[in-house]
A and B are shown apart, each in its own frame.
Chain A
């Protein structure tokens, strides 16, 4: 069973990944492997089982709200593909 073309294109859009027609076909086959994994897992009864998101018993790890020094601006900008002054520069987001 393969995933539909529409589903693959939808997932690629969510993942912000540009893919070609040929890749849509390839991913359609590869993503369907997920369905095989899921078939295996669905054979297990997990009613009443809590999910494990984290293996440790840590919750709400907080620190006092004290101002601490952060990364200096120049260092934060050092790897920027495009910058202007103290800002990262990107293509226009809002039309008009």
Chain B
């Protein structure tokens, strides 16, 4: 019962806490090209960009590899079973 009361109190307190959060800035609705020669970088962006692209490649290749491995295993099992019982197909 104490746990339920504590949970309800936490929920009641969470509402006002969320209401006092600063409002988020307005979302961007379109991109604008930079003026040629203007400085756009304050923090190095290249490592973030390269990490993102590398992750995409590695994730795709890793998934492809797991499919190939699983497919080979299933096909090996099918072949082994068909050798054991050729008329069961």
Do chains A and B stick together as partners?
A: no
